[in-house]
Structure 1
Amino acid sequence: MARRKKHEEHENHERWLVSYADFITLLFAFFVVMYAISQINEGKYRVLSDSLIQAFRNQPASALQTQTGSITGSAGAVVQKGAILTGSPPKVQSAQRKAQELKMRNIATDVQKVLAPLIKEGRVRVTETPRGIAVEINASVLFASGQADLQPASVEALTEVGNLLGAADNLILVEGHTDPLPINSLQFPSNWELSGARAGSVVRLFIESGVAPKRMTVIGRADTRPVEDNGTEAGRARNRRVTINILAENREQITELPEFKLTPNEAAQ
């Protein structure tokens, strides 16, 4: 009898898909793990940090807890001993907050006394912000049109403000603002340069008045933060301003201030 012919087995050319699928699965698992460990729990991180400090300094746990105290979270919760508790901050933090508020209130009162004539004329506004005190000065008080050199009439008032701030230790953020009308001069190619130069002129005067340079930061915002409608001359005049932000908390770096918003009483004026 004739032998049956064996069917030839065809080589599987798709075996690489198995290895490729395994590789993709491992890569996905790797990124999931990396993402998971990148999400830091502030409470657990602080407990780990305190434990390391205790270990290296050989301090008892009770003393360490007394030094570290509790941390107020961004949502008003209190992080203490690695747990998130709801409720009022400790009495120590409450006393510190009251002292800070009193200090800022005294600074605002002193600034208002110095700038009282300009405040009465409506060309200076002193307001409270989430970060501290904002002293908004109309540009017409400080500069000639299209210029960044302080006018002699404004130097005396700003010098008195600088003397007050020199006696304090708060960080200061000076912002220059313009209207959207374009400027294109040899000195100021755009409103960005003009707003920055105006804020810089105020800072230089403060330095001459005794304010430490490391406490101050200059920002030129051009016409990006209007507080009034630029469709009218009165609105554009209001938007041309320099804002001196006296920050309530001292930090190693000054971060972005929240957008300035008018109070209902100011909006009605």
Structure 2
Amino acid sequence: MARRRWQEDQEDQENHERWLVSYADFITLLFAFFVVMYAVSSINEGKYRVLSESLTAIFPQASRRIEPPIEVGELIVASGSSPIEIEALPEISSVTPTSAISFSATSVQEESSVIASLGVITKEIRTALQPLIDENLVRLRQGREWLEVEINDRVLFTSGSAKLEAEAVPELKKLAKILRRFPNPIQVEGFTDNVPISTPVFPSNWELSSARAASVVHLLDRFGVSPARMAAIGYGQYRPVAANSTAEGRRRNRRVVLVILGRPFSRRTLEAQGSPVGEGQAKN
């Protein structure tokens, strides 16, 4: 009888302390819950930037510059001339009335329209720069998905310098007024002849060609072409279009080429350079 009583007392005591197990489990779960909530609330900046860029690429909107580009090269304005005036750009609506169209169909139409715009850009640039084309200082070449605007350095720079001449500003402004109306990506490529250069600013032709391309990019940006669409590339002396053994050949090789691409993923290799527009269309 006494033994049974002792067993019942033991069971009652154990039952009174069993709530501690449930309480410990609850505290553990609560801790795990807050750990999970904290982990979810932590923002991965890299993934956030990728998501933001993807949404920007999918949904069209007015381009905006997050931070100013790095200036390489300076702009020379003739003494007594007024500062460069940047015209106000028309606002671009980010919402189109045809939003009910499926995304895939819209993408195909946009891509086709961008490629088709190369013909329009070619005609407008030819009209705007016809005097320089007649003097053989500007050449136009067009492929299936790209357009080249080759500008001889006599129009843009003095020898051994990446500073834009005052006379180059109006011509580049004409180009900018055309290009800023279209979404096409733009590559600005700088080239030199094989005459060595070694200065504190330009240790070699690599730096000179890159600085010249960047100077053109910066001025186009000032005149309203979105910097997000542009790239500056320097090839130095290693991509000549004429023999460097003659003065005329070296003059041809000193150039800046604006490559307007038909779509974001278009590519134009230097080996695929075409004949001047009007003498036959080049193919990629």
TM-score normalised per structure 1: 0.60
Matched, 1:231 2:245: yes
Per-residue Cα deviation, 1:62-100 (whole angstroms, up to 9, x for no partner): xxxx9769xxxxxxxxxxxxxxxxxxxxxx97x877644
Please, what is the CA RMSD of the aligned residues? 2.5
> What pairs up with 1:181-192 in 2 under 5 angstroms?
181-192=195-206
Distance 1:185 1:260, change over 3 A: farther
The answer to whether the 8 Å contact 1:139/1:240 transfers is: yes
Q: Comparing both chains, which one has the higher relative contact order based on Cα–Cα distances under 8 Å and sequence gaps of 6 or more?
A: 2
Distance 2:130 2:268 in 1: 29
Per-residue Cα deviation, 1:31-66 (whole angstroms, up to 9, x for no partner): xxxxxxxxxxxxxxxxxxxxxxxxxxxxxxxxxxx9
Which of 260, 269, 277 is 1:257 aligned to? 269
Distance 2:225 2:274 in 1: 29
Distance 2:215 2:202 in 1: 14
Corresponding position of 1:201:
215
What is the aligned length? 176
> What pairs up with 1:6-45 in 2 under 5 angstroms?
none
Distance 1:111 1:68, change over 3 A: closer
Corresponding position of 2:122:
108
Equivalent position SS for 2:241: coil
Per-residue Cα deviation, 1:211-259 (whole angstroms, up to 9, x for no partner): 11111011000011111111111011000000000000124xx766342
AA partner of residue 129 (structure 2): L
Equivalent position SS for 2:271: coil
The answer to whether the 8 Å contact 1:163/1:209 transfers is: yes
**Structure 1 unmatched ranges of 5 or more:** 1-65, 70-91
Distance 1:255 1:129, change over 3 A: closer
The answer to whether the 8 Å contact 2:217/2:232 transfers is: yes
Equivalent position SS for 2:160: coil
Distance 2:227 2:197 in 1: 29
AA partner of residue 177 (structure 1): F
Distance 2:246 2:223 in 1: 37
In the TM superposition, what is the alpha-carbon distance from 1:103 to its structure 2 partner?
1.3
Regions of 4+ moved over 2 Å? 66-69, 95-102, 254-266
AA partner of residue 103 (structure 1): S
Which of 179, 194, 203 is 2:193 aligned to? 179
Matched, 1:218 2:232: yes
The answer to whether the 8 Å contact 2:143/2:274 transfers is: no
**Structure 2 unmatched ranges of 5 or more:** 1-101
> Higher Cα Rg: structure 1 or 2?
2
Equivalent position SS for 1:147: coil
